[in-house]
């Protein structure tokens, strides 16, 4: 019998390993980070769009994305044009291929923490040195300028941030954005901004401003999975200077080649101005109603649970006061309460749980009650 080849040490993506194995096997799943998924019938409320979809040939699309879709994405970014847009399989592919376009083994990248740890693991697997700067929980998960300044060095090739932040929901202020741009500019680094939670704002009507246009070495990524409730389309995108967008596109030839024609077509419908506004409003209703429940829940159990109210997102990063690491606590919630949540140490910040509150209220409340039944028994 053959043996598997001996490879160098591989860093698994721990959060996605957990979710992939359990998200469809539990009774209460509060581990996801987007709003309640939209049924297809609620997207195709216009009979003409339904007929248009049925008439779509099941061929390859233009591999960087349908022109109509790229035009609608470009319209979300001041000064962007369709030739600066690459449509990808989710924001994850956008981030992965952007990282590998801008860096090489031995380079240094600087990442915001806590964060979705995709780029941390992908960089390590590519032989790239990783440094980080921590957001400050005592400042409402705001930027610590000293931590940022010390993390970025003359070796830094890329600075990567998420805004709004996953898992904390913090939206960077204009001053914080300017400090991040200045840190990257000081050493000539590229800035990769994962902005997939834009549109999920809880505390204001305006969509979170993009880093696009604030610096000449910016790549912004986004997608339809979080604010729009369309994760099953697997549509993300890159916004980059035109030549660089083409370089990232060339790497996609080695991975997925393209997104699906049906997803492109449905995404273009979702980003038509009226439909986009409707989907964002729907998502924000779920977010606000669910966070009201979660805020009352943490207040009722304030001797153990605390939360900094998130500015955006269907997620809250809840701190707990127990002598138990978050991976073990999540393991027990899974085994004893049939609830899946995301452990804080999978975001680089232990003694926290990331909880999804952007789901139907009764489902959220039942999940929270089950979580407390276990946590309360441990206090």
Sheet arrangement for strand 305-307: 305-307, 315-320, 352-356, 342-343
Pick from 334, 256, 346: nearest CA to 21:
334
The predicted structure's pLDDT at residue 3? 57
The predicted structure's pLDDT at residue 281? 98
Question: Please, what is the average pLDDT of the chain?
Answer: 97
The predicted structure's pLDDT at residue 1? 47
Give tens-digit pLDDT for 110-123: 999 999 999 999 99
Q: Which residues of the chain have pLDDT under 70?
A: 1-8
The predicted structure's pLDDT at residue 7? 57
CA gap 264, 374 in Å, rounded = 43
CA gap 161, 116 in Å, rounded = 10
Tell me, yes or no, if the two domains 14-40+276-378 and 59-274 fold the same way. no
DSSP annotation of 127 reads T
Tell me if 196 sits within 8 A of 231, measured CB to CB: no
CA gap 51, 335 in Å, rounded = 46
Tell me if 190 sits within 8 A of 157, measured CB to CB: yes
CA gap 228, 286 in Å, rounded = 11
Domain extent listing, the chain? 14-40+276-378, 59-274
Backbone angles phi, psi at 256, to 5 degrees: -115, -5
For residue 32, how many other CB atoms are within 10 A of its CB?
22
Instruction: Tell whether domain 14-40+276-378 is in CATH 3.40.50.970.
Output: no
CA gap 94, 102 in Å, rounded = 12
Give tens-digit pLDDT for 259-281: 999 999 999 999 999 999 999 99
* Level-2 CATH architecture, domain 59-274: 3-Layer(aba) Sandwich (3.40)
The predicted structure's pLDDT at residue 85? 99
Q: Which residues contact 371 (CB under 8 A, 6 or more apart)?
A: 30, 333, 337, 339, 341, 353, 355
The predicted structure's pLDDT at residue 268? 98
**Per-residue buried b or exposed e for 210-245, using 16+ beta carbons within 10 Å of the residue's own CB:** bbbebbebbbbbbbbbbbbbbbebbbbbbbbeeebb
């Amino acid at each position: 019998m053959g043996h598997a080849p001996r490879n160098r040490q591989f860093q698994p993506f721990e959060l996605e390993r957990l979710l992939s194995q359990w998200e469809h096997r539990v009774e209460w799943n509060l581990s996801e980070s987007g709003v309640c998924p939209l049924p297809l019938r609620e997207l195709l409320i216009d009979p003409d769009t339904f007929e248009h979809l049925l008439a779509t040939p099941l061929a390859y699309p233009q591999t960087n994305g349908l022109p109509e879709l790229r035009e609608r994405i470009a319209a979300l970014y001041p000064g962007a044009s369709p030739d600066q847009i690459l449509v990808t399989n989710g924001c994850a592919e956008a981030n992965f291929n952007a990282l590998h376009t801008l860096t090489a083994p031995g380079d240094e990248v600087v990442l915001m923490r806590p964060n979705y740890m995709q780029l941390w693991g992908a960089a390590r697997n590519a032989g790239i040195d990783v440094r980080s700067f921590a957001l400050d929980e005592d400042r409402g998960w705001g930027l610590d300028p000293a931590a940022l300044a010390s993390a970025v060095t003359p070796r830094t090739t890329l600075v990567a941030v998420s805004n709004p932040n996953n898992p904390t929901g913090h939206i960077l202020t204009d001053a914080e954005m300017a400090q991040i741009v200045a840190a990257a500019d000081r050493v000539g680094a590229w800035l990769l901004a994962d902005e997939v939670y834009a549109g999920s704002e809880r505390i204001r009507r305006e969509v979170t401003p993009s880093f696009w246009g604030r610096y000449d070495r910016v790549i912004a990524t986004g997608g339809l999975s979080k604010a729009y409730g369309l994760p099953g389309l697997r549509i993300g995108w890159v916004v980059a200077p035109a030549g660089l967008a083409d370089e990232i596109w060339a790497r996609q030839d080695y991975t997925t080649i393209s997104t699906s024609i049906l997803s492109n077509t449905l995404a273009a419908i979702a980003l038509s101005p009226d439909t986009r506004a409707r989907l964002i409003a729907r998502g924000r209703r779920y977010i606000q109603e669910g966070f009201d429940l979660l805020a009352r829940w943490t207040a009722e159990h304030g001797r153990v649970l605390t939360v900094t109210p998130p500015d955006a997102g269907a997620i809250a990063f809840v701190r707990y006061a127990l002598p138990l690491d978050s991976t073990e606590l999540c393991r027990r919630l899974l085994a004893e309460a049939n609830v899946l949540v995301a452990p804080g140490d999978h975001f680089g910040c232990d003694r926290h749980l990331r909880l999804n509150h952007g789901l139907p209220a009764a489902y959220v409340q039942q999940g929270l009650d089950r979580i407390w039944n276990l946590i309360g028994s441990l206090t």
